[in-house]
Chains A and B, each alone.
Chain A
Amino acid sequence: MLETSKDLEILQNLKKGDEKAYKELFDLYYIPLCIYSLKYCDCYDVAEDIVQDLFIKFWNEKLYLKIDNTISPYLFKAVKNNSLQFQKSNPHTDEINDYVYKVIEGDEEEIDMESLETEKEKLYQEIEKLPEKSREIFKAIVLDNLKYKEVANQFDISVNTVKTQYSRALSKLRESLDIIVLLLIVS
C-alpha cells in the first residue's frame, strides 16, 4: 500500500472538483488494473475495455463522491467483478474454476507499477534462459497467444513437436517459479 497517501490526495482533489486529479488517477492505476483484470478474463481487449468503462463511469457518475477512504480497493473490486462476469462459464469446468480462482487469488497482493516492472525483468530473464526452440514456441503461444496449429505452421513443424517444446518450456519455467517468487519478495 505504498500509494495510499497519493491515493487519498487524489480523492480529496477530485471531490474539490480538480480535474487534473482524474488524469493522475488514470496514470496511477490504469495499467495495474488492466493487468489485474487479465488474471480473470485472459483477454487483452476485454481487460482494457473493462478498465476503460470503469474510468468513464467513475467520472460520468461522479462515483468518487461515494468513497470515503482510498480509491484503489473500490477500483480493483469493480474490475474483478466485471472481469469474472465476462468469463463465460463453461458448465463442464465450474468445479475446476473454483479451484483456479483460489490459485490466482493466492497472490492477491497490491499491484503497482514498480513491482510490475521488476517482475517483468525477472520473467524475461527466465525466458532468455530457455533453449532457443522452446523459447520461441513459448513466446508464440503465451505472449502472442497463438494456437498450437498456427505455431506449427509458422515454424513448419508438427503440432506434436509444438506441444513437446511448449511443455519443456513450461516445466523449465516451473522449476524457476519458486526462484521468481522469492526474488520478488526479496527485491
Chain B
Amino acid sequence: MSFKEIDIFSLVKSYIDKSLDKDQYVILKTWLEEDKEHQKIFSDYLQVYKKYRQISFLEKIEKESAWLKITSKLNQPVSKSIKVKQLFSRVSIYKYAAIFIGIMAGGAFFYNLTQKTVVSPTEVALRLTNGTIKTLKTSEPKTILKIECNAVQLGSQLTYEKTSFDEVAVEYHKITVPYGKVFDIVLSDGTQVKLNSGSSLKYPTQFVAHKNREVLLEGEAYFEVYKDQAHPFVVNANKDINIRVLGTKFNISAYPEDKNISTVLLEGSVSLYPEKNKYNIKNSTLLSPGHMAIWDVEYRNFSVQKTDIEQHTAWLDGKLIFKDTPFKTIRKKLERKYNVQIVNDNLLLEENTFNAVFDSETIEETMEILSRSFGIHYRIKENTITLE
C-alpha cells in the first residue's frame, strides 16, 4: 500500500469523526476529483466502515431497556398486560460481552449483614449517596417507580438510564437483596447484574471517564458486562479480591464454597487478583472457559479447576443443582433461597455430600424430597426448620 493511501485513510476517518479541518478537506477533495478510481476507493471504505459500525451497533442495542424507556414516557400508558421480556433469558447469555458470577460463601457474614440491617429484611433496599434508604417493593410486579438520576424500577428490576461517562467523582448507590428474593440491576453503562438472595452491590450511578468501571459485591451475583475496552470492568468481591474483565466475548460464573470466593468463566477471559495488589497481568490469575477460580480466604491463594457451568448458573432460572455437594452448603443455599433458618446439629450430616436438582418446589416440597431420598427427619415451625 502506498504511503498516500494511508493518509487518505486518515482523512476518511477524520471526515467520519467530523474532525476534518479546512486544509485536510481540500486535500481530500482534490484527491477525490483527481480520479474516478479514487471516488470508488472512498465510497468502498465508507461502505465498509458503515457496514461494520452497523453490525457492532446491532450487538449493543438493548431492546428491553429501550422499551422500558419508551413506555415510561407515554402519556397514556400501554396496557399492563404487555409483558416486558425478562432480561436474563438463556439466549441473552451469548449477546453480551462478559458474564460472571461472584459468590461469597461466608454465610455467617451475610447472616449478620441481613439481620442487623435497619430496613425490613423482607424487602429489597436501595441506599442513596446521602444515606437515605428506599425500600423497593417488588411484590407489585408492574409498578414503575422513578428514582433519582433517571433510574426506573419495574418490579424486581432497576434500570439506570444509559449515560456517557462523567469527568468527576460520582454518586454511589447500594442495593441490598434479602433472603428469599433476587433482583436485577441495569447499570448506567448498560451492564446487567442479577443479585442473588442475601447479597448487596455498591456502584456509581454514572461511571468516570478514563477510569475502570468499579463495583463492590458482597454475596452472589451474575454479571453481563457491557463491552468497553477503554474502561475495564472490575468487581471488588467482599473487599478481598478483584475480578477484572478482559477480552471480548466471554461469560463467567462463580460458585459458593465455605470460606472461598469462586468465579466461574463461561466464555472468553477474566483475570483475578487480591484487592491489595495493583492490577498487573503478570501476577494475576487468568481463567479460561469452563474453569472455576477458588480464592481461599484464609490461605490467600487461588486455585483453578475445571467445572460444570450449569451447576453454577442454575439459580438464574430459579433452580438449584447440587453435585457431590456437602449438606452444609445445600443448607445455606436453601436458607437464602427460601428465607428460612435451617438448624442442624448433626455434624456428620453437615459434611455428607449429596446430588440433587430442585426446580420450582416450595420449601415444604424440597424438605419432603430430602427426607424421602436421604432419610432426613425434620420439623417446620414458622420460618425455622429443625433437623432431627
A residues lining the B interface (CB < 8 Å): 19-20, 22-23, 26-27, 30-31, 34-35, 38-39, 42, 44-45, 47-48, 51-52, 55-56, 59-60, 88, 90, 92-93, 95-96, 99-100, 103-104, 106-107, 116, 119-120, 123-124, 127, 138-148, 150, 154, 163-164, 166-168, 170-171, 173-174, 177, 180
Given contacts A48-B66, A56-B73, A174-B44, contact A163 B61 (CB under 8 A): no
**Does B21 sit at the interface, judged by CB under 8 A?**
yes
Q: How far is the CA of A141 from the CA of B14 in the complex (A)?
A: 12
Interface of A (DSSP majority class): helix
**Shortest Cβ-Cβ A-B pairs, 3 listed:** A143-B56, A92-B25, A19-B79
A34 touches B79 (CB 8 A): no
Determine the chain A residues whose CB is within 8 A of the CB of B28 once the complex forms. 96
CA A112 to CA B155, docked complex, whole Å: 32
B47 close to chain A: CB less than 8 A: yes
Distance between Cα atoms of A90 and B19 in the complex (Å): 9
Q: How many residue pairs, one in A and one in B, have C-beta atoms under 8 Å apart?
A: 147
The one of B39, B60, B70 that contacts A55, using a Cβ cutoff of 8 Å: B70
| B26 to A, closest residue via Cβ | A92
From B69, B78, B81, B228, give the contact of A22 (CB < 8 A).
B78
Cβ contact within 8 Å between B55 and A47: no
Task: Decide if B16 touches A42 in the complex (CB within 8 Å).
Answer: yes
Pick 24 A–B contacts, CB within 8 A, sort by A: A19-B78, A19-B82, A20-B82, A22-B78, A26-B70, A31-B58, A34-B57, A38-B54, A39-B50, A52-B69, A60-B74, A60-B76, A88-B18, A90-B20, A92-B21, A93-B20, A96-B29, A99-B32, A116-B55, A144-B227, A144-B228, A174-B48, A177-B47, A180-B51
Q: Which residue of B lies closest to A181 (CB)?
A: B47
Cβ contact of A123, chosen from B13, B43, B55, B73, cutoff 8 A: B55
Residues of B within 8 A of A93 (CB): 15, 18, 20, 25
Most chain B CB inside 10 Å of its own CB: which residue of A52, A60, A167 = A167
A187 to B338, CA, bound (A): 51
B111 at the interface (CB under 8 A from A): no
Interface residues on B, range: 35 or more
A22, A92, A146, A171 pick with most chain B CB within 10 angstroms = A92
Question: Across the interface, do A45 and B162 meet the contact criterion of CB distance under 8 Å?
Answer: yes
Determine the chain A residues whose CB is within 8 A of the CB of B94 once the complex forms.
Answer: none
**Shortest Cβ distance from residue B35 to the other chain A in the assembled complex, whole angstroms:** 14
CB-nearest residue of chain B to A31 = B61
> Are B55 and A120 touching (Cβ within 8 A)?
yes
Q: Which of B2-10, B98-106, B194-202 contacts A (4 or more CB under 8 A)?
A: B2-10
When C-beta atoms are compared, the residue in chain B nearest to A154 turns out to be B229
Which of B25, B48, B50 has the most CB atoms of chain A within a 10 A radius of its CB?
Answer: B48
Interface mask (B21-56 → A, CB under 8 Å = 1, otherwise 0)? 110010011001000000101011111111111111
Residue B118 at the A interface, CB < 8 A?
no
A119 touches B63 (CB 8 A): no
Closest to A56 in B: B73
Q: Is the CB of B164 within 8 A of A166?
A: no
**What residues of chain A lie closer than 8 Å to B16, measured between beta carbons?**
42
Q: In the bound complex, do residue A47 and residue B5 qualify as a contact, i.e. CB atoms below 8 Å apart?
A: no
A35 to B118, CA, bound (A): 47
A100 contacts B46, C-beta separation under 8 Å: yes
- Taken together as a complex, chains A and B put the C-alpha atoms of A163 and B3 apart, in Å, by 11
Q: A31-B63, A164-B6 are in contact. Are A103 and B43 (CB under 8 A)?
A: yes
Q: Which residue of B1, B18, B32, B82 is within 8 Å of A23 (Cβ)?
A: B82
Among the listed A35, A56, A138, A141, which residue makes an inter-chain contact with B58, where contact means beta carbons less than 8 Å apart? A35
Contact of A170 with B48 in the complex, beta carbons under 8 Å: yes
> CB of B169 within 8 A of chain A?
no
Residues on A with beta carbons closer than 8 Å to the beta carbon of B18: 88, 90, 93
The distance in angstroms between the C-alpha atoms of A124 and B58, with both chains bound, is 12
Using A19-B78, A26-B70 as known contacts, say yes or no to A142 and B230 having CB atoms under 8 A apart.
no
Please indicate the chain A residues that have their CB under 8 angstroms from the CB of B227 in the complex. 144
Distance A22 CA – B77 CA, assembled complex (angstroms): 11
CB distance from A167 to the nearest CB of B (A): 4
Decide yes or no: A103 and B53 within 8 Å by CB, A19-B78, A146-B229, A167-B1 being known contacts: no
Residue in B closest to A22 when the chains form the complex, CB atoms: B78
**A52-B66, A104-B50 known; A44 and B57 CB under 8 Å?**
yes
The answer to whether B67 has its CB under 8 Å from any CB of chain A is yes
In the bound complex, how far is the Cα of B50 from the Cα of A107, in angstroms?
11
A35 touches B57 (CB 8 A): yes
Residues of A near B46 (CB, < 8 A) are 100, 103-104
B86 smallest CB distance to A (angstroms) = 15
- Chain A hits for B51, CB < 8 A: 119, 123, 180
Contact A173–B48 (Cβ < 8 Å)? yes
Q: Give A44 to B189 CA distance when docked, in angstroms.
A: 13
Which of B61, B67, B76, B164: most chain A CB closer than 10 A?
B61
Chain B residues in 8 Å Cβ range of A92: 20-22, 25
